[in-house]
A = this chain, B = another copy of it.
Amino acid sequence: MDFLSDFLMRFGAQLQSPTLAFLIGGIVIAALGSKLEIPEAIYKFIVFMLLIKVGLSGGIAIRNANLVDMLLPALFAVVTGMLIVFIGRYTLAKLPKVKTVDAIATAGLFGAVSGSTLAAALTVMEAQGMEYEPWAAALYPFMDIPALVTAIVVASIYTTKKRAAAAEELSKQEYLNKQEYLSKQSVAAGKYPTSRQEYRSQQRITASGYPSKQRDRVKIWPIVKESLEGSALSALLLGLALGILTRPESVFESFYEPLFRGLLSILMLIMGMEAWSRLGELRKVAQWYAVYAFVAPLLHGFIAFGLGMIAHYVTGFTPGGVVILSVIAASSSDISGPPTLRAGIPSANPSAYIGASTAVGTPVAIALGIPLYIGLAQALMGG
């Protein structure tokens, strides 16, 4: 059982990493009744800082990449990132008692990319003398950002449709009562306030009284537009654009990059404190998340491996590049994902997606996925 001991060792190390340590710390102090509080203005600012940094680093990577050579692999990365969200939407989300928004957020996190899993793969490949394109690591933002954007948009469409459906079955008066009840419930559930965006989308429906326009069909484009204009994706895409089009390296390296991990630790603390009040929700569905978190990284890696092989035969993409694309797909983000999803899908339960990703998904991707894809590439393409 070499794999099991390797898996357990990595699992133990994850529990001591600052990311998970602060998350668990938050859960524990909330359980002990601590009155610790991070002001909301600080919370919003931390999310902004994290998201603009994720965008900037993706944008700078893209600007410095060889876009012509990497066209096909980059396209496949985008496709894989979006596909992963839809797979989660139609598997995990359909399981009994699993909340749909939690499942979409989890799929978004598994579509997003973990820099440390990628670094682990590069180390193993270099030790084995496996060659790959120097720009292959720059494929990560092409999967990371589309997956997160898709998850937020899909969650937003789901939430709006559900509200519209609920409204249709009720008379105007009943509808308003229900709205009031729902909004109270959402306030009670989440310690930290939901995003302005969600608030406004509630307002919009309420303000229009009996929502006659939504009777027939929910329009998709306004929801996509509203998601993109929301504070989470605005910051992410602004950072991406600034990274691609301008030269923000000086502030990136002196400010956004050094502060990132520290601010993330505070966000983890906040999410841990919030998670405590919602751990109960997961009791009856934890096994589904465990199954998904074990199967999904391997499945996502195989999908990317297949697409990578197409690029291998069409444009000569190296076997090493195919492995990197697969590892990017297999990895789940513990860095860019949580702040983005927390701000973009505020109604989803962070315990679900972070727990699934950090406790199971990442160890599986590193201990099982990396050797699997390297062996497969050597067997099939002689890399």
Residues of A within 8 A of B (CB): 15-18, 21-22, 25, 28-29, 32-42, 44-45, 48, 196-197, 200, 225, 229-231, 234-235, 238, 241-242, 245-248, 250-251, 254-256, 258-259, 261-263, 265, 269
Contact = CB atoms under 8 A, between A and B. Distances in A.
Contacts of A48: 36, 38
Given A17-B247, A21-B246, A35-B200, 17 more contacts: A15-B246, A16-B245, A17-B246, A18-B246, A21-B245, A25-B238, A25-B241, A33-B229, A34-B231, A35-B231, A37-B231, A38-B45, A238-B269, A251-B262, A254-B262, A255-B259, A256-B262
Nearest to A265: B251
Task: Tell me how many chains of this kind the complex includes.
Answer: 3
A353 to B, nearest CB: 21
10 contacts: A34-B229, A34-B238, A35-B229, A36-B235, A37-B196, A38-B48, A41-B41, A41-B42, A238-B269, A254-B261
Given A36-B48, A39-B44, A42-B41, A255 B261 contact: yes
A196 to B, nearest CB: 6
A137 to B, nearest CB: 21
Given A40-B39, A41-B42, A16 B246 contact: yes
A202 to B, nearest CB: 14
A84 B158 CA distance: 59
A293 to B, nearest CB: 22
Contacts of A259: 255, 262
Nearest to A200: B35
Contact of A261 (B22, B41, B42, B250): B250
Contact of A248 (B18, B32, B231, B247): B18
